Structure 1
Amino acid sequence: MRVVLLGGAGALAGGAGLPLVQGAVPRLVLVPVAFRLALFLQAIWAGAPLGAPVLGLAIVLYLVPNLAEVAWVFHRSTGIRPVLAADTAYTLVTSFAAAMFAPGLLALTWPNIMGTVMVWTLLRGAPAGAIAITGAVLLRYGMAVVSGTSAPATWIVLALVAAAATALAIVMLVAGAMRFAHRLGEQRGRAAERERHRRDLHDTVLQVMESLALPAPRDGLDPVGSLDQVRRIARAHALRLRLSLDGDAPAEPGGLEHRLGALAVEMTAEGLRVDLVTLAKPAEVPESVVNSLHDAAREALRNTLKHAKTGKAVMCLEEHDGVVTVSVRDHGTGFDIGAHPAGFGIENSIHARLAEIGGAARIDSAPGQGTRVVLTAPLELGFPVG
C-alpha cells in the first residue's frame, strides 16, 4: 500500500504489467470529471447568475471539454502521461481564459482545478498531489491578479487537501480490490491446476491399471498372447504419460472423426468392441473441442468396459447447427442414476471437461436397459450449448 500512496494508480499499472490493468488505470480520470460535471450542474441548478451568452460560454468551456475528455480516454488506448498533460492544459487554459475575458465564470473554474488535483493524486500518488495543490494555489493567485479580484481564502487550500485525500482513498480502494482479485485468481488457478492433475492421473494411470486388471475371455486360452497385449498397452500408455510429464506430448493427428476412430480401435484392443457411426460429419472442429470430446468419450467407454458387463458399444458422431454431438451407447446392465451419484470420473472427466469448452453431458440409464452418454460441444468457443 505504501507504493500506491507514493505512486498512485500509476504504480498499479507499472507493477502489474497486465494490459487490462494498464488500460483501465487511466480511466480513473472519470472520477474527477464526474466531480466537475456534478458541481457545474449543481451551480446551474442553484441559479447561478448567468445570462444566456455567459451560460453558453460556460458550456463550451467546461461541459463540452470534460465530456470530450471522457470520450477520448474511453475510446482510445492512451497512457497516463497524455491524460495528465491534457487535463492540466485544459485547466490552465480555461482558468486564465475566464480570468481574462469572463470574470463572472471564475466560480466555475474551481471544480476544474480541484479535478486536476484529484487526477494527479489518483494517477501519481500523494507527492504529486501535494505538488498539484501548491500549483493550484499559485494558479488561483495568478487568476486573482489577472482578473483584479480578491486573493483566494484559506478554505481553498483545505478544499484542495480534501480533494487529494479523496483521490488517495479511491486509489487505496482500487488497490485493495485489485490485490483481492489477484489473490483470488491465483487461488482459483491453483485449485484448477490441481483438479487437472487429478483428472489426468485418473484418465491415464488409474484407468490403465484398472483396464489391465480386468479379466479377458482369452486369458485362459492364450495366456502368452494376453501377457503380450498387457505389455503393449502398458508401454504405449507409459510413453504417453512420460511425454506428457516432459511437456513434449505431440499433438494428436487428424480431426475429431479420426481421433474417435482411433479410440474405437484402442478400446477394441482392450476388450470392448466399439463401432463408430458418423451420421453427419462436422466441419472443422477446434483442437480443444476435439480433445475434450475425445477424452470424455474415452471415459464413457472405459466405464462401459468396467461396469456394463458387455463387450460391445456404439459411438455416434454428428453435427447440427454448430453443435457437435458424440454419443456412446451400450446395452449392458445399466444402473439407477438416482441411486448412484456421479463419481470422480463422470463429474470431472466428463462434465467438468466439457464445461470448460462450453459443452455439456447427459447420461441416460436404467437397470437392465443399458446406458447412453450424450456429449455436446459448440464449434465456436465462447458460445455455450443450451
Structure 2
Amino acid sequence: MNIAKKLATFAAIGLYAALTPPATAQQPAPLKIGLLGDFSSVYADIGGPGNVEATKMAIEEFGGTMFGKPIELITADPQNKADVAASLARKWYENEAVDMIIDMPTSATALAGMEMSKQFEKIMIVTDTASSDITGKSCSPYTAHWTYDTYANAHTVGSAIVKNGGDSWFFITADYLFGHSIERDTGDVVRAAGGKVLGSARAPLNTADFSSFLLQAQASKAKIIGLANGGSDTINTIKQASEFGIAAGGQNLAGIVMFISDIHSLGLKLAQGLIITEAYYWDLNDRTRAFGKRFFERMKRMPTMNQAATYSATLHYLNAVKAAGTRDTKPVLAKMRSTPVRDAFTDNGVLREDGRMVHSMFLLEVKKPEEPKAPWDYYKVLAEVPGDQAFRPMKDGGCPLVK
C-alpha cells in the first residue's frame, strides 16, 4: 500500500472514530426486593397482603428509587411448603437478580429459604416466622430475624402466667417446627419457674376440628391450656374451647403467639382477659399511631406486629444500602448491624451478630367489650419488657456464628 492510500485509510478510521459515539457505560440494575408470603392460608391475616402493603409503604417513604432507578418489588406464595419456598428463593436469587427476600410465613419455609440465602450469599429478612432456631442452631450470616420469636413470647407471656398461679400446663401444638418451638420454649419457662407440663396434643396445620385435642386438654386437668399455634388455628381453637366450656370448667387459655387481627376476628366477648405479647401495638405512642393510621387508610384494618415489622425491616434495609453505597451483601449487613432501628415499629432496636433484631416486647391484656374508646382499641398495656430481657441471650442460642 502506497503512502497516499495509507493516509486515506487512517483518515477514514479517524473520521469513523469521530462520528461513532462512545460505548454507553453499563447502568446498574434496579434494586429488587422479593416477598414470599402467605396469601391464601392460615397466616394470610397476620402477614400476606398486609406485608406487601407495608413493604410498599417503606419503599415510598424512602423515596422509591435506588441507584437512579425505581425500586422493584415482586411477590409469591410458597403455599407454606419448604420445597416451594426453596425453589422460589433459588429462582429469585439466581435468575431474577433479587437482592433481598423478606417475610417467610412459616418456620419451615424460612429455614428452606435461608439455605438458598447462604448458597447465593444474599440477604433474607424473616418477619413472619417465630422459631427461635432461626437465630440459634440454624442461624445464618445472611439472615435477620425481625419481629418476635418463640423464646421471647414464651418468656414474656409464660413467665407472667406462671407468676399469677398458672403452674400446670397442657399444650395444643401445631405439628411442625413453629409449634414444637413454642411448646419447647414455653415448657422450659414453666419448669424453670417450678411449674409442670402435663402433656401435649399435636394438631395438623390448618385443621378445622380441634375437638379431640381440646378433650385431651380437658382430661389433663391442667390449669393452663397453652396454644402453641398461630393465625386461624389459634382463632379456631379459642372458638371451639368456648363451645366446650373450657373456661367454665376452670381452665384458662394462654395465647402464646397472637395478633391484633386474631382479637378482631374473635371479638372481645371471646377474647377478653387473654394475656398476650406483641412487639407492636398501634396505640402505644404518636409514631405507632401515625403508622397505624396510614396503614388503615390503605388496608381498612390496623397492622399486625408482623406487618409493622415488615415495613421497619424494609426501610432499615433500604437506608443501609444507601449508606453503604452498594447492594453488596456484606457491607449492607454491616450497616444494618451498626445502625440502631428507630421507626414506627420500635425506637430501641439493634440487629445482633446472630441475626436477632432485639427490641422491646409488650405484655398486653385484651379489654372487656365495654372498655374500648375507639375501633381496634383492644389492649391494655401491662408492661414493656426490654429486649435484653425478652430475647434469648446471644451466648445461649447455640448459633455457630457467635464467638
TM-score tier (shorter): under 0.3
Which has the larger strand fraction? 2
TM-score where L is the length of structure 1: 0.25
- Using CA pairs under 8 Å that are at least 6 residues apart, name the structure with larger relative contact order, 1 or 2: 2
Larger Rg, first or second structure (1 or 2): 1
TM-score where L is the length of structure 2: 0.24
